[in-house]
Structure 1
Amino acid sequence: MSGPALTLGGLNDAAPAHRVALAFPEGSASFGDLVARSSRLARLLAARGVARGDRVGLWMPNRPEWMVAALACWRLGAGVFALNPRLRAGDMGKLIAQSGIRALIVEGETGEAPWAEILREIPEERRASLALLVSADAAPEILPGLPQVAMTEADALSAAPLDDARPGDVAMVFATSGTTSGPKLVLHSHERLAAQARDIAARLLPDPAGARPLLSIPFAGAFGFTIALMSLASAATLLVERRFVPAESVARIRASGVTHLYGTDDMADKWLEAAEETPAFPGVSYMGFAAYTPNLGDIAERAEARGLRMIGMYGMSELLAFFSAQPADAPAAERGNGGGHALCPTARMRVCHPDDDRELPLGEAGELQVLSPNRFLEYLDNPEANAGAFADGGWFRTGDLARMTPDGRMVFLSRIKDVLRLGGWLTDPAEIEAVVRAQPGVASAQVVAIPMDRSVRPVACVIARAGETPDEAAIIAACQAELAIWKAPVRVLTFDDFPVTDSPNGAKVQRNVLRDRAAARLGA
């Protein structure tokens, strides 16, 4: 990154005041509007006791007030805990207690989720840290005894720019998805987020004045937040949707001159289906995407045939969503892989043996480790996780299986915890799943490892296509014909659905829960 270290409020202040920052279907806000509204709200929060070093929960769907509230907290030096707007009482209570947030900012009476009811269901001891409830719009008293204020009460206060934050202050808190364990709370500082945002913007939005990226996923996740932060750093106009409705989204892409799309592989699939025409989106430069859906491995090539260039990216809560990206000029089959070159010019990547941090030869699969000046600070109040997160020299252990290519690109393969240890070999389950999904009657597949016959054996869990019945013997025979013997499933179990955990970026299969269900079915 060139230039001085910045705070996130400083990024807002540096943008042209007249330029539109956020464009929603129902209206827009300029960068100057964000400066004024967030500075007013910062003064209101300060008067109600929010101070530098506090953590503030932000729990609402995409709307201008989300960014106004976040900027207000950042200007005070308070950290924002981005909460999934689809959370319910059980998870909300755990996260409030774990994070120790001092204030919670929610929707008002115009909100769509039953947030007031959800808050009342949270046991008092789990929300003991809360000293203030803030609603985007006026709302009746929610929790007796808890001070409550509406954001609109800030309208009469001074709009002069305010920024009391320091570059090293915690700016953002993300909860990891917790598909195999409880969530960890990831802390990011102003200066590292600002630096990464500027690096990302320089590479992905080289012409910000003419760029009109679209955000169709929640601000609250690392993916959506990274898109918003990139737009803030580049002073590009970000078109935002409250929710993802493919047909409505396609109409807006075409009518509003969207230039860049970002989302998941299944979103791309739905966009292409709703678009019908070819080329699907002639005004779109590219779509940056994350691969979450195993049976959409050919999405980049299918999109290419429809005139949409897709670029596989890689990221995580600890590194933000766009840590790396595949080259735009690579063949579609290569661009369809997560990974690529690091977007921070000084960041480095290596692949190591997951047991001893020994760097592996080029092309060999192992754990991806990252050395970046823009990575997260630490996990909140979790010394065990912090101790295990870093190798000697400050290399961050991502927990992801990857390999390096001769030209310095990284290719993401899977999560290490998803990797199966079969026959003494680390085996990517996606390789087996691809063969299983190709068989008649199979709509979706997940492969888990089950202890059987004094060893660990692969078991395929499948969801059947409507009106069809997968043939277990035929599937096993097909796998034996195409895969190494230790990779071929010994059983194929049919399920109605797979257990998933919800995140702002989409649903993720809970492999540990699925493994337990498969083991119970087999009596293992």
Structure 2
Amino acid sequence: MSEHASAPILTGPELEGMEDYRSVMDVFHAAVKRFADNPAFSCMGQTLSFAELDRLSADFAAWLQHETELKPGDRIAIQLPNVLQFPVAVFGAMRAGLVVVNTNPLYTEREMAHQFKDSGARAILILANMADKLEKVLDRTDIEHVLVTELGDLHGFPKRQLINAVVKYVKKMVPAYSLPMAVPFRQALKAGAARKHREVERELDDIAALQYTGGTTGLPKGTMLTHRNLVANMLQARQAIGPGLHEGKEVVIAPLPVYHIYTFTVNCLFLMETGNHSVLITNPRDLDNFVKELKGLRFTGFIGLNTLFNALCNREDFRSLDFSKLHLTISGGMALTKAAAQRWEEITGCPIAEGYGLTETSPIVSFNPIDAIQLGTIGKPVAATSVKVVDVDDKALPFGEPGELCVKGPQVMKGYWNRDEETAKVMSDDGWFHTGDIAVLQDDGYIRIVDRKKDMILVSGFNVYPNEIEDVVAAHPGVLESAAVGIPDENSGEVIKLFVVAKDDSLDAETLRDWCKKELTAYKVPKVVEFRDELPKTNVGKVLRRQLRDEEVQKTQKAEEV
């Protein structure tokens, strides 16, 4: 930690090992060679060893190189839930020199069309369950190559046929679609296995992934994460979490979506680098089956977030599991409450170490030391990372004073894809990234988040930006104006409340919610709708979301007092 009397900067230790690698693929090759026989990823009872991951990803890379004209630097969208195909596709695409565009499988057609067009993706691997949506937006994108996979594709015979048949014919989860050019993923792997892939040299400053995040325009922006960013964050995670982890011996539960930067870095990259075994949970919202999967596992690690910890601890079947091997629980994605952390430790015997990060920082910025967890904080800066807090004039503030948290380090993004103006708003010329989160630096080296980006809503760990919701609502012919804010919720941290000024009295809340469901992912759909005659505004006519949010907080406080 370095500090000045009035302007402290907290800095993590030196970063070790960065000189050993030039790309994510260097890390991958070292891991698959060193841990070849170890289990790498499991899903629904099927396991891929590191050697199998190496072989299958090479097959996919060979198909991309020989059966398409895609070049290094081209973008490929991967729209999958937590299935074994995900790591195979990610590492295969990177081996072919492509840039991975992680895409939420819950996206609506509108959201898909924007992300594919904005990223310039020329290829996509998509789960059959959402291929009907792709069919409807394909002509609005630059996508030329479509690969479709089914849920059980990497399972052995006959389990593969059984899983795929149940999903398609019994549960009817695969709507009919017509994509004549689509290549089945298994067919691509088979064709690739007959060819030899060429290893593509990538440099640390080349883009490895475009990770989309919300923005002030209401449309998500592509965060350019380079090989340097991702390699650095893997190694930073190793140094921060490493003391509580045994190389090649951990079994870590991964219930959060791998397309999300949190799990993408921790499970897909960091745990791969350390030779450990990630158990991918395809549908964690199905808590009955989730807990059943956990029953047969002697898991040693668990990656989660506050709402999931709460939901599991409320279940008797979860409380009766064997936690004797569990020694590492990590929380991120949203604030961890002391009540949730204490209850988890009472039930499992394992404390939760909370970290903090953002999509723009690959994501890990800080982490609670495993042997010195301080609940209510986000820990200390990870290696090679500096943090400071500043006031509205960008002047650094002393310990104990809240200000905007700024971050500097090798994990900070290259910038927003094709958004130089947006990049300039958050990145200073000397490399400081302005997070928009309000924090306090403690003189013991720990950091506390005291508030968040003023308009962002956090629903179960997912960032929701009001502008996007308001843009969708504004398109309804019965709406004059609207404002979306987050209100406290016991289960998801926050839910979205929509304030609406209608053009006439015929518009009702359910009609508006149905309208939103067509255009927005489920967690972005307003849970509460309130109609008003007018909305509070500034003297230049800007809606005061903060005032609306403060009114809701006061209502909640009064209700609790009663």
TM-score range, shorter chain: 0.7 to 0.9
Once the two structures are superposed, residues 456-495 of structure 1 have per-residue CA deviations (whole angstroms, 9 ceiling, x without a partner) of: xxx9967899xxxxxxxxxxxxxxxxxxxxxxxxxxxxx9
How far off is 1:64 after superposition?
Answer: 1.3
Aligned to 2:95: 75
- 2:56 paired with 1:34: no
For 2:179, the equivalent position in structure 1 comes to 143
Assess if the C-alpha contact under 8 Å between 1:76 and 1:163 holds in 2.
yes
For 1:202 and 1:384, the matched residues in 2 are separated by 34
In 1: Cα distance, 2:308 partner to 2:226 partner: 30
Equivalent residues of 2:100, 2:208 under 8 A apart: yes
Greater mean deviation of Cα atoms: 60-69 or 174-183: 174-183
1:335 equivalenced with 2:375 (yes/no): yes
**Counterpart-to-counterpart distance in 1, 2:321 and 2:177:** 52
Q: In structure 2, what residue type is equivalent to 1:72?
A: G
Aligned partner of 2:105 among 85, 89, 106: 85
> Measured at CA, do residues 46 and 201 of structure 1 come closer, stay the same or move farther in structure 2, by a change above 3 Å?
same
Q: Is the 8 A contact 2:362 2:411 kept in 1?
A: no
Structure 1 residue 519, shift from structure 2 partner: 8.2
Match of 2:343 in 1: 302
| 1:55 has 2:69 as partner | no
**What CA deviation, in whole Å up to 9, does each residue of 1:68-105 have, x standing for no partner?**
11111101211000000111211101111111101011
The answer (yes or no) to whether the contact 1:298–1:336 under 8 Å persists in 2 is no
Please name the residue that 1:281 is paired with. Answer: 323
Structure 2 spans left out of the alignment, 5+ residues: 1-15, 154-173, 458-484, 492-508, 537-562
CA distance in 1 between counterparts of 2:206 and 2:230 reads 11
Contact 2:225–2:362, Cα closer than 8 Å, also in 1: no
Q: Normalising by the residue count of structure 2, what TM-score does the alignment of the two structures yield?
A: 0.70
Q: Which residue matches 1:410? A: 447
Candidates 106, 113, 132, aligned match of 2:145:
132
Separation in 1, partners of 2:300, 2:281: 15
Q: Secondary structure at the residue paired with 2:532? A: helix
Instruction: Choose from 258, 261, 265 the match for 1:226.
Output: 265
Q: Deviations over 1:237-275 (max 9, x none)?
A: 111111103343334435311111111101001121224
Q: Using the alignment, how far apart are the partners of 2:217 and 2:247 within structure 1?
A: 39
User: In structure 2, do the counterparts of structure 1 residues 292 and 168 end up closer, same or farther at CA, with 3 Å as the change threshold?
Assistant: closer
Label 1:248 to 1:283 Cα distance change in 2 as closer, same or farther (>3 A).
farther
Change (3 A) 1:402 1:82: same
Q: 1:29 and 1:43 mapped to 2: Cα distance? A: 19
Shift of 1:177: 3.6
Residues 141 and 118 (structure 1), Cα distance of their counterparts in 2 relative to 1, 3 Å cut: closer
Mapped partners of 2:201, 2:488: distance in 1: 54
Please, which of 30, 33, 55 is the counterpart of residue 14 of structure 1? 30
Does residue 268 of the first structure (1) align with residue 304 of the second (2)?
Answer: no
Aligned twin of 1:324: 366
> What per-residue deviation string (whole Å, max 9, x for no partner) do you get for residues 371-401 of structure 1?
1012211100001111111124211111111
Aligned-partner Cα distance in 2 for 1:387–1:253 = 45
Pairing 1:396–2:433 present:
yes
Quote the Cα distance in structure 1 between the aligned partners of 2:217 and 2:448: 23
Q: Is residue 153 from structure 1 mapped to residue 188 from structure 2 by the alignment?
A: yes
Residue 239 and residue 123 in structure 1: after superposition, are their counterparts in 2 closer, same or farther (change >3 A)? closer
User: Which residue type is aligned with residue 292 of structure 1?
Assistant: M
Give per-residue Cα distances to partners, 1:84-142, cap 9 Å, x unaligned: 011121110111111110101112xxx4x2x2211122262x21x11111123599983
What whole-Å deviation, never above 9, does each CA across 1:166-218 have from its counterpart, x for those lacking one?
33221111110458832111011113211211220233243122211110111
Matched, 1:241 2:276: no
What SS does the aligned partner of 1:66 have? Answer: helix
- Quote the Cα distance in structure 1 between the aligned partners of 2:517 and 2:199: 39
The Cα RMSD (Å) is: 3.5
Match of 1:257? Answer: 298
Residue segments in structure 1 that go unaligned for 5+ positions in a row: 421-458, 466-494
Q: Is the partner of 1:198 in helix, strand or coil?
A: helix
Distance 1:359 1:176, change over 3 A: same
Alignment of 1:81-480 (within 5 A): 81-107=101-127, 111=128, 113=129, 115-122=130-137, 124=139, 126-127=140-141, 129-136=142-149, 142-143=178-179, 146=181, 148=183, 150-155=185-190, 156-158=193-195, 162-178=199-215, 181-205=218-242, 206-227=245-266, 228-244=268-284, 245-274=286-315, 275=317, 277=319, 281-290=323-332, 292=334, 296=337, 298-306=339-347, 307-330=349-372, 334-337=374-377, 339-343=378-382, 345-353=383-391, 355-418=392-455
Aligned residues of 1:299 and 1:336 also touching (Cα < 8 A):
no
Q: Which amino acid aligns with 1:20?
A: P
CA contact (8 A) 2:135 2:177 kept: no
Relative to structure 1, the CA distance from residue 419 to residue 19 in structure 2 (aligned partners, 3 Å threshold; closer, same or farther) is closer
Residue pair 1:272, 1:280 contacting (<8 A) in 2 also: no
Q: Which moved more, 1:399-408 or 1:10-19?
A: 10-19
Q: Residue type matched to 1:267 in 2? A: L
Q: Is the CA contact (8 Å cut-off) linking 1:131 and 1:147 kept in structure 2?
A: no
Instruction: Return the letter of the residue paired with 2:411.
Output: N
Q: How far apart, in 2, do the equivalents of 1:270 and 1:419 lie?
A: 24
- CA distance, structure 2, for counterparts of residue 385 and residue 397 of structure 1: 12
Give TM-score scaled by structure 1 length.
0.75
Are the counterparts in 1 of residues 39 and 47 from structure 2 also a CA contact under 8 Å? yes
Determine if contact 2:108/2:133 at 8 Å carries over to the other structure: yes
AA at the equivalent of 2:334: Y
Aligned pair count reads 438
User: What amino acid is aligned across from residue 260 of structure 2 in structure 1?
Assistant: G
Q: Secondary structure at the match of 1:256?
A: coil
Larger relative contact order (CA 8 Å, sep ≥ 6): 2
How far apart, in 1, do the equivalents of 2:421 and 2:196 lie?
44
SS of alignment partner, residue 134 of structure 2: helix
Work out whether residues 198 and 234 of structure 1, in 8 Å CA contact, stay in contact via their aligned partners in 2: no
Q: CA separation in 2, counterparts of 1:303 and 1:147?
A: 45
What is the alpha-carbon distance in structure 1 between the residues aligned to residue 486 and residue 58 of structure 2? Answer: 55
Contact 2:125 2:149 in 1 (8 A): yes
In the alignment, residue 201 of structure 1 is paired with which amino acid? R
1:420-449 residue CA offsets vs partner (Å, 9 max, x unmatched): 9xxxxxxxxxxxxxxxxxxxxxxxxxxxxx
